[in-house]
Chain A
Amino acid sequence: MTITNDGSAATRRLILKGAGAVALVGLGNTAFVFAPALAAANDKYPEEAFKQKADADAIKALYGKTAEPSDKVKLDAPEIAENGAVVPVSVSSSLPDVASISIFVSENPNALAASYKIPAGTLPNVANRLKMAKTTNVIAIVEAGGKLYSTSKEIKVTVGGCGG
């Protein structure tokens, strides 16, 4: 496996930092507009959903509706995670027109862990690594054709990964 590392990124970052500083000093509150605009022009960070403690509240805050269980959502994760700080979780779906995939860890202080937007042309298949505080249910939600589909799995966590 080879990993490329773009050397010119350092220069670009300096320029970006400079621009950020100018926005902060010169225009005050426009810096708030600047940071999200850098990452995505029209996709706002779902702050409220990430603040919710319970999984059901987080799903409601993120999508405004409830999900129905579906066997077309596949959640891959270990049965037993020895280290709760790094648990590999992947979600895929055979549903058409998937718009987003979100992963909730029920027993974490805040249930929503990650939410991925899947534009047309991107495959409904994502892998990442999450922290889990203790043995917990993990819920994967797939938004497809305006509806929500879910599947869940219990993961036994030997050593928690949220500190404390």
Chain B
Amino acid sequence: MASTIRVRATSSGETTEVQALIQHPMDTGLVKDPKGELIPPHFIQQLTFEYDGKNVFLADWGPAVSKDPYVKFSFKGGKKGDDLKISWVDNKGASDTTTAKIQ
């Protein structure tokens, strides 16, 4: 199974711009399925980006974040070819981690 996380990290020399797209239903718990039963809440709660052993970005999310979430941020430093580690954990305890090379 392919990773749920797709990342593009681009270094401009001074800063690194990171864009991440994650496959996740982000169910709010307020939507009903075709049978009229509520779909239970299922959403990513925390998403972290780690570079060189340090957190460079941490997201706390509620179910109001859109399905298949997208996020973009930038941090100072980050060398081409270095690893950026991305992890998420959802409200059911599921998680995923991937490592992307800075381009």
- Where the two chains meet, the residues of A that have a C-beta atom closer than 8 Å to any C-beta of B are 1-10, 12-13, 16, 20, 31, 35-36, 38-40, 43, 45-46, 50, 85-87, 90, 105, 108-110, 112-119, 121-123, 125-132, 161-164
Contacts of B89 in A (CB 8 A): 35-36, 38-39
Q: How far is the CB of B94 from chain A (nearest CB, A)?
A: 9
- Where the two chains meet, the residues of B that have a C-beta atom closer than 8 Å to any C-beta of A are 1-3, 5-8, 15, 21, 28, 30-32, 45-48, 54-67, 69-77, 87-89, 93, 95-101, 103
The complex places the Cα of A110 from the Cα of B76 at a distance, in Å, of 33
Contacts of A127 in B (CB 8 A): 70-73
Between-chain CB contacts (< 8 Å), 26 pairs: A2-B8, A9-B5, A9-B97, A9-B98, A9-B99, A12-B98, A13-B95, A16-B95, A20-B95, A38-B97, A39-B88, A39-B95, A40-B55, A40-B58, A45-B60, A85-B67, A90-B72, A112-B62, A114-B62, A114-B64, A119-B57, A122-B57, A125-B74, A128-B70, A131-B64, A131-B66
Find B71's partner among A9, A110, A119, A126 (CB 8 Å cutoff): A126
Ranked nearest first, the 5 interchain pairs of A and B with the lowest CB-CB distance are A163-B31, A9-B3, A113-B64, A39-B46, A117-B58
Q: How far is the CB of A144 from chain B (nearest CB, A)?
A: 16
Sample of 8 more A-B contacts, CB < 8 Å, known A5-B2, A129-B66:
A3-B8, A5-B3, A9-B98, A36-B46, A43-B60, A45-B45, A122-B73, A132-B64
A16 touches B46 (CB 8 A): no
B65 touches A128 (CB 8 A): yes
B8 touches A119 (CB 8 A): no
> Is chain B's interface secondary structure helix, strand, loop, or mixed overall?
strand
When A and B form their complex, what is the total count of cross-chain residue pairs whose Cβ atoms lie within 8 Å? Answer: 176
Find A113's partner among B65, B72, B99, B103 (CB 8 Å cutoff): B65
Find B64's partner among A20, A38, A108, A121 (CB 8 Å cutoff): A108
